[in-house]
Amino acid sequence: MAHARPRPRRRQQHIHVAAAAAAMLLLSFTARLPLAVSARLPSPPTTRLLLLAALPPSSPLRAFCPRERPSPATCAAFSSPAMAADNPLLAADFDFPPFDRVEPSHVRPGIRELLTRLEGELEELEKGVEPSWGKLVEPLERVTDRLEVIWGMVDHLKAVKDSADLRAAVEEVQPDKVKFQLRLGQSKPIYQAFQAIRNSSDWDSLTDARKRVVEAQIKEAVLSGVALEDEQREKFNQIEQELEKLSQKFSENVLDATKKFEKLITDKKEIDGLPATALGLAAQTAVSKGHENATAENGPWVITLDAPSYIAVMQHARSRALREEVYRAYLTRASSGELDNTDIIAKILKLRLEKAKILGYKNYAEVSMAQKMATVERVEELLEKLRAASWDHAVKDMEDLKIFAKDSGSPDATDLTHWDLTFWSERLRESKYDINEEALRPYFALPKVMDGLFTLANKLFGVNVEPADGLAPVWHSDVKFYCVKDSSNSPVAYFYFDPYSRPSEKRGGAWMNVVFSRSRVLARNGLPARLPVAHMVCNQTPPVGDKPSLMTFREVETVFHEFGHALQHMLTKQDEGYVAGIRGVEWDAVELPSQFMENWCYHKDTLLSIAKHYETGETLPEEIYAKLVAAKNFRAGTFSLRQIRFASVDMELHTTYDPYGSLSIYDVDRRVAERTQVLAPLPEDRFLCSFSHIFAGGYAAGYYSYKWAEVLSADAFSAFEDAGLDNEKAIEETGRRFRDTVLALGGGKSPLEVFVSFRGREPSPEPLLRHNGLLPVAA
């Protein structure tokens, strides 16, 4: 399949723009709507101020601030308690975000009022700033956290409950938010105070975590343009605003293009081969589109580009014409008409290059690497090593597929192309390993999978995960809420889980994100620190009829992956908010816990504990488990090259590519594909137009992070192999050490130090090559 692995995990960093742009997908728009008072009170600014000043404190008119305000602090003085009471985004205090109460109509007034208040607080901080923790870092954390939490609510709802009204509201306030971020990131008083701490005689007495906070703040300020003056700063700020707008537009075009494709099928022959689960989903989709009498048996059926539907067609549809139609639609999403992302990509690449040069770097990749473990050279070295180790295996994968298709009597065997590969790969896997993924679904019911996952977390890390539905407001009835408790039964964290695909309103992919970070400064209710809260979002097959969500094995791996991210956020022991959990962790190391957790899907005791038939309770037979393990590295060379293609084209577009030159982005992709794809891409391949990871997410010049962190995660799991996967005591001891290092230390130490503290040495790529069955070629 020619699409990026759908796992844009979205992470919140410090509120500085450079960090936010490198860490998570930020919403972006440009239009502004004048404040209501501008239309209703046409009197001069001074008159308006006098009018507002004369109003009683309880007057709701105090909710309006004059457009030409003398200062943010003055405007903040006119804020209305009634406005805060009516707008959940301005609630003074809450244990959990009021997701159920936030409406699009709250966004414009709520975000504008919030920014006004924060501007006033920032001005006060700058006036009295001192190079000390209590006078600098703690008040700054309060300011940045408020924006992260409140904007995070809006941003999250935009991803899981999108609507035209919410888009329009965000579009109008996004530039104001970015303007505040730039103002904060370029604050010279704050930057100079951090420099003073760094250069003080007390520096050596600071903890490692506090040193990391200071150094990160200084670096982020520089990357946010704090050293720029006048015209350069103005140009830099314009670029940041435009990049935010373009990234958001890119993301919306992908979502809209995905939703736009619907294929109504009434002839049962067309859907021949689709399993019962896919037919049920297609009929359920048809019902939602107005075909109220649709059934899985008789149709009609609606095929979409949403992952559960698309993947089912590519794996199982016997109609080559249907596979081709759906494949081409997926491959060319957002590449034509009003949703075409081609020009947006060109503008993004030009602006990123211009931004890099303003900051004194040769290219955008160097900007990206400034906050990562790797360098451009080390990334290229790793990718080439993995490419060389994968190539011959991928060539053999293709040969095996052609031979199998020919032996199966396929008339297309001599002319296999892209929309055939997934179909015949699935048939070969079924034949070679006697495994039918659809037949496995009844063994992977979501409730049982989650029970097994939580049992594993208890065994490895000594925590208990308990349902806590009703404790926190949620944004959809599908969402579950959980409490994580330590061995003394005390809560240490909470998380939301939104598991199912909702194509009409929910962005595709899977991700984990921050709701609250652990923080000593923001402690509540007599606790020593505010407890962390996360949310996990997936897009797996929803329940059909009276059946629970029956998962593919790939969906099981995805849930384990996202839970790994959540564990690092939730089990942190860092009390400094800026480096707690996933915050402050270099981007190319943050996938370590997530990819580490995927390994446990192949651990016998773990898998058999979750694989229970949803109707009979029968455990997955051991011979099928053995076949799953045997099939683990099926087409590993092909899948490895696929990730290397994505990472390589990302690096080339952000290093050597000249966006002003004669070559197009598609020329670059085709050139990269020559050395990373055995079957040449179609001339009309436009996967870049939906490559949200690098054009609307945090992976620009960073997609290599999946492979970089995979080296770390495979090596980390090899510590459990060394201890003995059948040795319960050794597994428990190693798990506690993993918790006390990788999960506990967060961004308080460098990733290399954290890894060495767990593993006792620096990482090696050998375990990854061994796990993927690629080691012989590497040798």
Strand-pair partners of 493: 484
Kindly state the tokens that stand for 47. Answer: 């008159």
SS (H, E, C) 615-647: CCCCECCHHHHHHHHHCCCCCHHHHHHHHHHHH
Tell me which residues are annotated as active site.
Answer: 562
Say how far apart CA 612 and CA 619 lie, in whole Å: 5
Q: How many CB atoms lie within 10 A of CB 435?
A: 18
Whether 570 and 532 have beta carbons less than 8 Å apart is answered as yes
- Indicate the residue type of 405: A
What distance in Å separates the CA atoms of residue 4 and residue 1, rounded to the nearest whole number? 8
What are the b/e assignments for 541-554, b being 16+ CB within 10 Å?
A: bbbbeeebbbbbbe
Backbone angles phi, psi at 522, to 5 degrees: -105, 25
d(CA 455, CA 609) in angstroms, rounded, equals 9
Helix 104-128 × helix 138-160 angle, to 10°: 160
Which residue from 337, 348, 555, 298 is spatially nearest to 449, judged by alpha carbons? 555
Half-sphere exposure of 724 (CA within 13 A, CB side): 6
Q: Which residues contact 183 (CB under 8 A, 6 or more apart)?
A: 119, 122
Contact 698, 24 (CB under 8 A): yes
User: Identity (one letter) of the amino acid at 15?
Assistant: I
What is each CA distance from 323 to 71, 426, 442, in whole angstroms? 61, 14, 26
Supply angle C-alpha 478, 481, 487, rounded to 5: 150
Query: Measuring CA to CA, how many Å separate 358 from each of 114, 181, 242?
Result: 31, 18, 15
Angle between helices 164-185 and 230-260 (to 10 degrees): 160
Cα–Cα nearest to 382, from 656, 699, 657, 707: 707
Q: Would you give the end-to-end CA distance of the chain in angstroms?
A: 29
User: Which residues, in sequence order, are CB contacts of 110 under 8 Å at separation 6+?
Assistant: 87, 88, 89, 90, 150
Position of tokens 């192999």?
A: 721
- Rounded to whole angstroms, the Cα distance separating 250 from 335 reads 11
Residue 345 CA: distances (Å) to CA of 342, 696, 700, 777: 5, 10, 12, 37
The residues near 30 (Cβ < 8 Å, ≥ 6 apart) are 171, 174, 175, 241, 242, 245
- Give CA–CA dist 91/642, Å, rounded: 46
| Distance from C-alpha of 486 to C-alpha of 464, rounded to nearest angstrom | 6
DSSP code at position 621: P
450 to 168, 607, 625: CA distances (angstroms)? 37, 12, 19
Q: State how far the Cα of 555 lies from the Cα of 538, in Å rounded to an integer.
A: 9
C-alpha 98/C-alpha 106 separation (Å) is 12
In the three-class reduction of DSSP (H, G, I as helix; E, B as strand; rest coil), residue 396 is classed as helix
Nearest Cα residue to 443 out of 632, 620, 630: 620
Peptide bond into 447 cis (omega under 30): no
